[in-house]
Structure 1
Amino acid sequence: MTRVASAHDDITQFAIGHMISNIIKKKLVKNNFRDMNDIYDAIAPGIMTRVCRHAAGTGAQVGRTAIIEELRACDILEEKAQIRQIKPAGTTPSIRDIGVILEETTKFTIDQITSTSRERGIVAARFKAIWIMRHVCGHPLSVIGRSVGGRDHTTVLNSLNKIAIERKADEAAKVKITWLCERADAIGVKMAHSILRHQENGARARK
């Protein structure tokens, strides 16, 4: 899949293929999933369902976020596998990039999101920022807390729990949050496309 996507310059599909190659190489998949084709076969039904949901809800393309969720749902990833291990280094969005996306979708600036404001809309945007930093970038709770105005570990956990509950209770909300995550991740992928290609070319050269 990586080579095909590269040939067609489909950055998202290229990044997905590269990520799956990465988790196999790092032995982050369970023993009965050591081949890319086995992994694709296992996640295909769930991914097709997600494609339909995304198309109906946001029209967004399924990206690495949905793939990781499906890998976990299919019990393919090792429990210890963390986002920063799963995704190749340097391929996640910056906090400023996340702020740009949230400003476009919520109309609140990153300065408002990281402020002390308790306005309902700003708090909701802050929760989304925290979720993206955790589930797209894989940042530690301490880093997230500092990035959103010096908030403590408990506040960050509470924010993550609120989004998790919302996603579980409301399918439309789940699709929307995943869409935001995919948009944020797409920025990281686009910015790091040359890095991914360099890594892929280096892997081929070593074969």
Structure 2
Amino acid sequence: MSVTAQSVWNNCLEFIKDNIQPQAYKTWFEPIAAVKLSNKALSIQVPSKFFYEWLEEHYVKILKVALTKELGESAKLVYIIKMENTYGNKQPFTEKIPSSNRSAVKSQDVDIPLNNKNPELRNPFVIPGIRNVKIESQLNPNYSFENFLEGDSNRLARSAGLAVAAKPGGTSFNPLLIFGGVGLGKTHLAHAIGVDIKDKYPEKTVLYISAEKFTQQYIDAVKKNNRNDFIHFYQIIDVLIIDDVQFLSGKTGTQDVFFHIFNHLHQNGKQVILTSDKAPVDMQDIEQRLLSRFKWGLSAELQSPDFETRVSILKNKLYRDGVEMPDDIVEYVAKNIKTNVRELEGAIISLIAQSSFNKKEITIDLARVIVEKFVKNTKREVSIDYIQKVVSDYFQMDIDTLQSKTRKRHIVQARQLAMFFAKKFTKASLASIGSQIGKRDHATVLHACKTVDNLTSTDKQFRKYVEDITKKLSV
């Protein structure tokens, strides 16, 4: 490396550093290396094509001023783009500049005249719906904190979400992992955090994406040899929200690239928000190094809402839709649909629709008909309380005995069976199952499940217990 090139670039960096935000300087200028100086043309190496296009789009003026100060009006800047394929081999890169006042440069060099005021640039890493370098958040503004009602089942997650929205990247909740069963509001809360951040900090780049789409983008990037561009694109996000992160299970390549993106964002004070249908401890086929990072921040569980919260959710829904409904009917629906918020709102929508289309008054009888049909046609999610009752009745003991600290063999086995079926029939985390069945920890639940599996394959009588209780719970 030429000493002259380095000294010129160092002087440029001093000027640039004084004129832009420290975080922007760290992200976009620290990774650049000066390579050579020839006839007032300074060659610098940048990590990817996307990196160069971002510099040209956002920092071309300051680069021109800095370089002109050092080398005069005839100064030129040549980019050397470091490309890397999936296997890590260096590959030459040829860039054809579409504008007539740019010359195409063979091999790795891209010659950019600094007097071009309107560079025609395209983002080489194109996400559907995201054009050029203007990144749309992909957030749904209908999902807000205002219509995410607080209750005992979601208080921790909602409070953490509000804290993150007030100070993204500046709390100990980084990453914030929201987990829970289907229809409990994980996606709603993730969007609400993003929407609130965009309102408070319009300059921040927020992106919501499902883990499935993230994986597909990565696969496409590998096919097109754009892996570096893919990584750099995600490294510029201020708030990254990935929904259903359990979808990364078993996808080692995607996990590896997400690991590096996560590290970069976390180290640079950017906020990561994840949702999952299970706690980190219950995730299968996710690399340990990634799981350990999921645990750096806060894992907050969304549980099924209690009766009071269900009533509040329904009343809020009716208020927003401008519909009036008697309290006794609202309470009837809330009492009979307990599994999740999505089913709860679905039932009330069905009730309003039936009343409107058939011009019938909304009565308890109509509510009963709708709720019965709705519950019948909806896959019932067995609760942990119900499982404990079924197991206790089967072994002719009360629930307090089942949950007790006693080590009597038949009671221990009943408790282990309750834990086993709770894991099988519910979406609850091991920690949640343990806390509800005698205040045990997740390790006890894991041990219980392994014991039941072993005894089922070796003990004929125990196998009958499992078969009998399975039938009762499957009715």
TM-score (norm. length: structure 1): 0.43
Q: Which has the larger Rg?
A: 2
